[in-house]
Chains A and B, each alone.
Chain A
Amino acid sequence: MGDLCYTLAVMDDLEFVQRCLSRHTATWDEFLDKYARLIYKYIYSVLKIKGSTLTQDHVEDIFQDILVSLIKDDFRKLRSFKAKNGCTLASWLRQVTVNFTLSYLRRLKSGISLDQETEEHFSLKDSLIDDSPLASQTLLDKERLNLLRDCIGRLSPNDQYFLELHLNRGFRLEELGEFFRVSRGAMDMQKSRIVDRLRDCFKDKGFVVF
């Protein structure tokens, strides 16, 4: 029953988009009634997460530009909504808003730090014991990293994606469990499996973590 309702909702979305293409202002009034708040809230959410201090004028610019982007070039953007795999119009608009707001911030660039890449002042040399007699004296940190990165390349895309979210983007395991709709225990297991795999691989490369 739930699936049927969902399918009908998606079909309604497609039919609604078709009506929007007819350029009737009444349909676009309906569009605004349904989705203007959603778009606006997501602009704010993205700006908050990015720690942006853009003025209200900027927010309103982004809001208007998103709506114009849907209709320009003969509705090229809106026409690209196909409800693929049951994607709803609301979810699609959420992602359009996120992407558009990000692009806007990237264009502005100045004064906004988008690269959250952390600088690690942490010596790999201090953390690894190289038990390879030939390499022990000569390898520089960079070379060690280059050797070990092969271990990352051997992981599955699924495990690499986990590392990206958890270690590189800083998502907590509880959050990831919620996103992937699995238990915290399952997340712990996945992490432990990846760590063990990498520990073994590092060891094979001649490095032992103490």
Chain B
Amino acid sequence: MQDHFERIIRMVYQNWKRSEGRNKETHPDEETLVCFIEGRLPAEEAERLKAHLVRCDDCMEAIALSMQAAEMSEEEPSADLLERVRKMLAFELKPSILEIVLRLKEKASEIISTTGDVLVGQELVPAAVLRSRSIKDFKDEVTILKDFFDIRAEIKIENMGANAFNLSILVKHRITQKVLKDLRVALIKDNTELESYLTDAGVVTFEHVLAGKYTVEISRVNSKLACVVLDIRP
């Protein structure tokens, strides 16, 4: 009798769930789900979450699996897999470097070498291709781009004459191409920080910098995102 009525309740419940449709609310984050499972969510929030869960199969499944999955498996990652992962992380975590060696001429800038791509008209050209096309000199300014782990840096060097240049750095998200704000960009010479700015509109400009060897560091709180090594020769 009880089982019989339970089956009816289940049918009615499933019908009700279908009628409620798919939940369009924002899904709770992992911390919220964990605290809910561990009974550490404030009562009001837990009640709201329950209302979400009965209408959201994705979140409900994640909760149900967490409840079931505790300490079930005995499998261990192999030493080989761990070693591969260590190497992969070491590679991913390393901020790569953009090198630019450039000579300031009287009315132009000559690219001697770079590990970035150079903007020629609307086209991005690697340095090797630039050499094969015998393109060396750029009038007024030269723009060099490089993709780092998750950002794209655009470096614009403007020849101001008298062995000085203006350096502009624009930082975008590598995939979305959205301009990134609130990054710190520092100009460093011989391990001494000369100037640094927080990007406001995603761009920082250092004006009237004299020719020489510099490092530009682009960073966010606690993490270095990119490093540009500049060798600007008179």
The residues of A with any CB-CB pair to B shorter than 8 Å are 18, 21-25, 28-29, 32, 36-37, 40-42, 44-46, 48-50, 60, 63-64, 67-68, 71-75, 80-87, 91-92, 94-96, 98-99, 102, 114, 117, 120, 122, 124, 127-128, 145-146, 148-149, 151-153, 157-158, 160-161, 163-165, 167-169, 171, 175, 179-181, 195, 198-199, 209
CB-based contact A149/B19 at 8 Å: yes
CB-based contact B85/A67 at 8 Å: yes
Q: Which residues of A contact B35 (CB under 8 A)?
A: 84-87
CB-based contact B223/A152 at 8 Å: no
Q: Which residues of B contact A122 (CB under 8 A)?
A: 7, 11
Whose C-beta in chain A lies nearest to the C-beta of B67?
A179
Report which residue of B12, B19, B82, B95 has the largest number of chain A beta carbons within 10 angstroms of its beta carbon.
Answer: B12
Q: Which of B58-66, B156-164, B187-195 lies at the binding interface?
A: B58-66
Whose C-beta in chain B lies nearest to the C-beta of A114?
B61
Whose C-beta in chain B lies nearest to the C-beta of A192?
B2
CB-based contact A168/B73 at 8 Å: no
CB-based contact B5/A146 at 8 Å: no
User: When chains A and B are docked, how far (Å) is the Cα of A80 from the Cα of B61?
Assistant: 22
User: When chains A and B are docked, how far (Å) is the Cα of A86 from the Cα of B69?
Assistant: 21
Beta-carbon contacts of B71-92 to A below 8 Å, as 1s and 0s? 1111111000110111011101
Known: A60-B81, A64-B88, A127-B4. A120 touches B54 (CB 8 A): no
21 pairs, CB–CB < 8 Å, chain A vs chain B: A24-B93, A32-B82, A36-B82, A37-B76, A41-B71, A48-B73, A64-B84, A68-B92, A72-B150, A85-B42, A87-B40, A99-B62, A127-B7, A128-B8, A145-B12, A152-B12, A152-B16, A163-B10, A164-B53, A171-B67, A198-B9
CB-based contact B51/A195 at 8 Å: no
Asked if B225 CB lies within 8 Å of chain A CBs, one says: yes
Known: A32-B85, A75-B223, A127-B4. A37 touches B13 (CB 8 A): no
CB-based contact A95/B62 at 8 Å: yes
CB-based contact B62/A29 at 8 Å: no
The majority secondary structure among interface residues of chain B is helix
Asked if B177 CB lies within 8 Å of chain A CBs, one says: no
CB-based contact B40/A49 at 8 Å: no
User: Count of chain B residues with Cβ under 8 Å from any Cβ of A?
Assistant: 74
Q: Report the 8 A-B pairs with minimum CB-CB distance, sorted nearest first.
A: A149-B16, A44-B73, A45-B69, A152-B16, A157-B51, A95-B30, A161-B50, A45-B72
Q: How far is the CB of B36 from chain A (nearest CB, A)?
A: 9
CB-based contact A40/B76 at 8 Å: yes
Q: Which residues of B contact A41 (CB under 8 A)?
A: 71-76
The residues of B with any CB-CB pair to A shorter than 8 Å are 2, 4-17, 19, 29-35, 37-42, 47-48, 50-51, 53-54, 58, 60-62, 64-77, 81-82, 84-86, 88-90, 92-95, 149-151, 173, 220, 222-225
User: When chains A and B are docked, how far (Å) is the Cα of A205 from the Cα of B64?
Assistant: 33
Q: Which residues of A contact B62 (CB under 8 A)?
A: 95, 98-99, 102
CB-based contact A120/B11 at 8 Å: yes
Known: A28-B93, A36-B85. A153 touches B60 (CB 8 A): no
